[in-house]
Chain A
Amino acid sequence: MSQSAPIADSLDTAGLARRAWNSDLAYSFRRSKVTVVAGVITLIYMLSALFAPWVAPHDPYDLASVSIMDSFLPPAWIEGGDSRFLLGTDNVGRDVLSTIIHGSRISLGVGFASVFIAASLGVTLGLISGYVGGRLDAVIMRIAEVQLSFPDILIALLIDGVIRSILGPGAHGNIAFVVVIAAISLAYWVQFARTVRATTMVEKGKDYVQAARVAGKGTFYIMFKHLLPNVMGPVLVIATISLALAIVTEATLSFLGVGVPPTQPSLGTLIRVGNDFLFSGEWWITLFPGVALAIMGLSVNLLGDWLRDALNPKLR
């Protein structure tokens, strides 16, 4: 074997895939049937969200194809149902299944965007707070503490309410998405910041950081080259759990009527709209989106739970 051989070996993707498959993480994934099911379901949700226009049997927002004549049709297997609409139709004749698929797309989109922003913000502030310390740390952590003592949903509601009042009532359209995403990410950055800070504090006491300092490396080099890779484990766990929470929070905001605009309904909006018909017997309009939301939240949560246990073997 020549000296360059090991580098070539590490580039061998088949070997890499094999190693990934045999890794403890993959093993614990395969061993837990529930997790595998949750993973598959999550994957299905993501794919159908990504390709919603092609997956959905109808385009519920194409006014030309929606007919008021089809309104309040029950699911296909119930008497009076129509085979064109598997899960029935809503008050204006839209296919419930299609609205769910489009709604999931919006729920997941808002969730991912919020978590991404919250994680970027939280990780950066947490790293700075943990590694640099001092006044900056004190300020960041005081804000975090005050915010943490209030529930996320209240924070999101408040931020949402404030932005809305500044923009004036009736702010609709795309700006509403920005408001919701901003509200949720500002409500969730704290978890990331606190965890990253705690991990950073532990890691920075370790001697490899001291060794880098002895070697004359600068603060940013140490923060991003040394510490960042070592705090990513917990960040991944929190990101997954936060995704589930963000989806639920968005749904709740939308349910309360302060979330995404009704013109582009998420699952929460669908449930809110459908809730009005619960008592008149058209239960499918609200219950099916509800079940879709519940399964989505549960699957992502199960993945997060597994990830936390797998990355923290002590807890098993």
Chain B
Amino acid sequence: MISFILARVLQSFVVMLCVAAISFSLFTYVGDPIANLVGIQSSDEKREELRESLGLNDAVPVQFARFVSRAVRMEFGISYQQKRKVSSIIAERLPATLELSILSALLALGIGIPAGIYTALHRESWFSHLVLSGSLIGVSLPTFLIGILLIFVFSVQFHLLPSFGRGEVVQLGFWSTGLLTESGLKALIMPAITLALFQMTLIMRLVRSEMLEVLRTDYIKFARARGLSNRTVHFGYALMNTLVPVITITGLQLGSIIAFAIITETVFQWPGVGLMFIQAINEVDIPVMSTYLLLIASFFVIINLTVDLLYYFVDPRLRVGRDVKT
């Protein structure tokens, strides 16, 4: 048990280090950090002085070690464009993205999983066919297009919902929330649906195909042959076994919601970290880009770790060792 967790934690550590290396090389080799910090007219001596004071003349491993130790202390440097600390920009924008992502994740899971189960158990019903066809549209349509269509219908045509921004926010300590005001909630509806739709259809199709696979297994056939009720067979036996593989992929999907937020935030001008990233790319704002990368990676690592642990508790084959003796 402990060795399993330790191994996972170590693996996550390695992944983080890899991402840090990529971030670092972005920082070091892409563009000229000095040129972005000082004016064009400053002298060569001044540049060299700054170079020395920033440690840019040290050996690469030393620079990398410093980069990592700073990152651990949440110091990510100064944005080239905004001339502010990247950490404070992120702190300001992260709540918006997290609120949007978590709500979307709940939507995607809460509708995706039951729909997947339903369509697997009632393969031939008209409702299943309808849901399946609908899901294919959900998978095929680009997220931004869904957002634009929603805006066109609900904002442009019917003026029901705001087309951009977060509405009014309330500051709770360091956290700014849009969940406590009417305009904030209204502003959240369309972005959350837009962001959730793709993941929802994906999760639904995944649950469906896994469950169909499980329903074909010998132990389900044997359970039916023993006269167990449909409820026991479907929910006691099939669903549990479906969830084992589904957990992993669902975890990854939820992680990607945070990344997909980039598109949704762009469409709805949602003031989160995704929008910040797109602006950074367009402006070649390297510190912001590399910090965003680290942030996303750490989310993924945390989610992966959680998924592994969950897996461990669901599947006794991992938890309980095999008895070699008969």
Contact = CB atoms under 8 A, between A and B. Distances in A.
Contact of B263 (A148, A164, A252, A297): A252
Interface in B5-41: 15, 18, 26, 30-31
A258 B281 contact: yes
A92 B47 CA distance: 46
B145 interface: yes
A279 B148 contact: no
B148 A271 contact: yes
Interface stretch (B59-67, B132-140, B187-195): B132-140
Interface string A148-159: 111101100110
Contact of B148 (A146, A168, A275): A275
Contacts of A169: 282-284
Nearest to B143: A252
Given A151-B260, A256-B263, A298-B136, A166 B282 contact: no
A153 B263 contact: yes
Contacts of A166: 30
Interface in B110-158: 136-137, 139-145, 148-149, 151-152, 155-156
A298 B281 contact: no
A11 interface: no
A315 B123 CA distance: 12
B262 A146 contact: no
Interface residues of A, number: 44
Interface stretch (B70-78, B83-91, B251-259, B317-325): B251-259
Contact of B262 (A154, A164, A251, A315): A154
A150 B15 CA distance: 12
B145 A293 contact: yes
Nearest to A301: B140
B212 interface: yes
Interface stretch (A64-72, A130-138, A226-234, A283-291): A283-291
Interface string B261-301: 01100100000000001100111101001000100110010
A314 B281 CA distance: 45
Contacts of A150: 256, 259, 296-297, 300
Nearest to B300: A149
A297 B26 CA distance: 34
B286 to A, nearest CB: 7
A287 B262 contact: no
A219 interface: no
B136 A278 contact: no
A213 B209 CA distance: 37
B141 A294 contact: yes
- Most chain B beta carbons < 10 A, residue from A252, A257, A279, A315: A252
A154 B145 contact: no
Contacts of A314: 216
Contacts of B286: 165
A293 B289 CA distance: 30
A157 B262 contact: yes
Contact of B282 (A148, A257, A287, A294): A257
B304 interface: yes
Interface residues of B, number: 46
Contacts of A298: 136-137, 140-141
B215 to A, nearest CB: 12
Contacts of B148: 271, 275, 278, 286-287, 290
Given A290-B149, A293-B145, A151 B256 contact: yes
A93 B213 CA distance: 54
A300 B142 CA distance: 13
B144 to A, nearest CB: 5
A315 B212 contact: yes
A268 B282 CA distance: 17
B104 interface: no
Interface in A252-306: 252, 255-258, 268, 271, 275, 278-279, 283, 286-287, 290, 293-294, 297-298, 300-302, 305
B152 A278 contact: yes
A252 B142 contact: yes
A268 B139 CA distance: 17
B79 interface: no
A300 to B, nearest CB: 8
A278 B141 contact: no
Contacts of A255: 142, 144, 263, 266
A26 interface: no
A289 B213 CA distance: 39
B242 interface: no
A268 B293 CA distance: 25
A164 B297 CA distance: 22
B260 A153 contact: yes
B250 interface: no
B262 A279 contact: no
- Most chain A beta carbons < 10 A, residue from B15, B30, B148, B278: B148
A162 interface: yes
Among all A-B residue pairs, the 10 with the closest Cβ atoms: A151-B256, A297-B140, A298-B140, A154-B259, A161-B281, A301-B140, A165-B30, A248-B142, A151-B259, A165-B284
6 contacts: A153-B262, A255-B263, A286-B148, A293-B145, A298-B137, A298-B140
Interface of A: 146, 148-151, 153-154, 157-158, 160-162, 164-166, 168-169, 244, 248, 251-252, 255-258, 268, 271, 275, 278-279, 283, 286-287, 290, 293-294, 297-298, 300-302, 305, 314-315
Given A151-B260, A256-B144, 17 more contacts: A148-B252, A151-B259, A154-B256, A165-B31, A165-B284, A168-B284, A257-B282, A258-B281, A258-B282, A268-B142, A283-B152, A287-B148, A294-B140, A294-B142, A298-B136, A298-B137, A314-B216
